[in-house]
């Protein structure tokens, strides 16, 4: 072989060695880059796994991960506390017998739709205690979009359901009691009216019989007092009947012109000559029951008339549109009410004087009507400066 050929061959081998070294350097760099990327990815995965593990342990409600056959693969501390199991168990074994079929139907829906919301059923814990649970569950899929796991958050609603049942029982009990009290009030009131009328007639006749025979002022005053007491008893019975009947009948609501209602009240109730009742402006038309609204305003206006000044008595009715509700005021210029009685006067049978027409039921009826409309009422007054009854009715 000639020197020139040998030289060419050596140059080719040198180039090949250089190319191989360059390739090895590239491969080494790429390997290092791949290793570093791997390490970064591993660190990220470890960090995510740590975060997930931390989240898994800190979820307040019981959380479980199970296979498609109901075997629990993983659960948090709250699940262990709730079920009482530390090892894996099958959720179907904890189901209450009567809820098993519904649970299987719900699970079929989970497999079909991939999620199930607000599933409720009864389960046993390891102490054989029955607890009500509510579960929100969904499926976990692999890369081929095939379901491989199911997981869900469990909420113990036993106490909530017990409280709800107690409220329903209490409401039913109150409804029955209220009906019985209303029926009792009507029966007693009607039974009392007949002998009361007889007493009134007998006392009146007796007073007439002895009026020409006896000229004793004390006896006359006693007869007058007795008649007033009987009259007050009659007012009291009528008040009880009205109070019991406020919410007894379902009444249809419609648009009611309060200006007409109050004007009619002013024209029909007894107003002494020394008292004036007026509206400071035209009252609005609101939605409600005309009979109850008439009762409401009549009781407040009559109350104002009764306690207005003995001379130049004045009762005013006004309102303000507050946007979401109406605000009404019935004001008198009477002797006023001490602050310690501001709440007491709205209780049934509570009255501040011994007037024979004062039964302590009028304002109780007002309060009951306003409560039916989900409104509120209060009084603003200083003793000696009149009283203003203020109430609000939602629109």
Q: How far apart are CA 154 and CA 160, in angstroms?
A: 14
Would you give the distance in Å from CA 54 to the centre of its chain? Answer: 37
Tell me the pLDDT tens digit for each residue of 239-253: 666 666 665 555 667
**What pLDDT is stored for residue 256 in this prediction?**
92
Residue 51 token pair: 């975060």
Higher pLDDT, 288 or 206: 288
Which of the four pLDDT bands, split at 50, 70 and 90, describes residue 359?
Answer: low
pLDDT at 356: 46
State yes or no: pLDDT of 207 exceeds 50. Answer: yes
The region of weakest confidence among 165-174, 226-235, 267-276, 379-388 is: 226-235
Nearest to 149 by CA among 62, 66, 49: 66
Q: How far is CA 122 from CA 61, 67, 85, 177, in A?
A: 17, 21, 17, 33
In tens, the pLDDT along 24-45 reads: 677 676 667 766 666 665 665 4
The pair phi, psi for residue 119, each rounded to 5°, is -75, 130
For residue 122, the SS3 value is strand
């Amino acid at each position: 072989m000639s020197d020139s050929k040998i030289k060419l061959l050596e140059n080719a081998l040198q180039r090949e060695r250089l190319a191989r070294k360059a390739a090895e350097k590239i491969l080494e760099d790429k390997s290092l880059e791949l290793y570093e990327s791997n390490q970064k990815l591993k660190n990220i995965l470890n960090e995510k796994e740590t975060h997930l593990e931390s989240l898994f342990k800190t979820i307040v409600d019981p959380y479980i991960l199970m296979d498609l056959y109901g075997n629990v693969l993983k659960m948090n501390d709250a699940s262990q506390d709730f079920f009482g199991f530390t090892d894996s168990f099958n959720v179907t074994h904890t189901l209450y017998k009567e809820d098993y079929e519904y649970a299987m139907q719900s699970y079929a829906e989970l497999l079909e739709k991939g999620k199930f919301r607000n599933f409720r059923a009864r389960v046993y814990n390891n102490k054989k205690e029955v607890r009500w649970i509510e579960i929100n569950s969904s499926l976990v899929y692999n890369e081929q979009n095939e379901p491989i796991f199911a997981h869900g958050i469990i909420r113990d609603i036993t106490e909530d359901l017990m409280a709800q049942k107690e409220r329903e029982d209490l409401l039913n009990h109150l409804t029955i009691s209220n009906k019985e009290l209303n029926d009792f009030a009507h029966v007693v009131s009607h039974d009392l009216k007949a002998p009361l009328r007889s007493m009134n007639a007998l006392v009146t006749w007796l007073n007439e019989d002895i009026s020409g025979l006896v000229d004793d002022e004390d006896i006359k005053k006693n007869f007058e007092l007795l008649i007033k007491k009987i009259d007050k008893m009659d007012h009291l019975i009528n008040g009880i009947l009205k109070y019991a009947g406020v919410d007894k009948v379902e009444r249809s609501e419609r648009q009611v012109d309060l200006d007409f209602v109050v004007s009619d009240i002013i024209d029909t109730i007894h107003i002494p000559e020394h008292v004036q009742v007026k509206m400071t402006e035209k009252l609005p038309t609101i939605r409600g029951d005309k009979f109850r609204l008439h009762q409401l305003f009549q009781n407040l206006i009559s109350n104002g008339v009764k306690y207005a000044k003995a001379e130049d008595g004045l009762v005013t009715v006004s309102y303000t549109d507050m946007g979401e509700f109406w605000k009404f005021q019935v004001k008198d210029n009477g002797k006023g009410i001490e602050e310690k009685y501001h709440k007491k006067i709205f209780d049934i049978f509570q009255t501040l004087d011994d007037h024979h027409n004062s039964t302590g039921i009028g304002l109780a009826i007002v309060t009951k009507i306003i409560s039916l409309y989900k409104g509120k009422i209060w009084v603003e007054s200083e003793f000696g400066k009149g009283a203003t009854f203020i109430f609000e009715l939602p629109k």
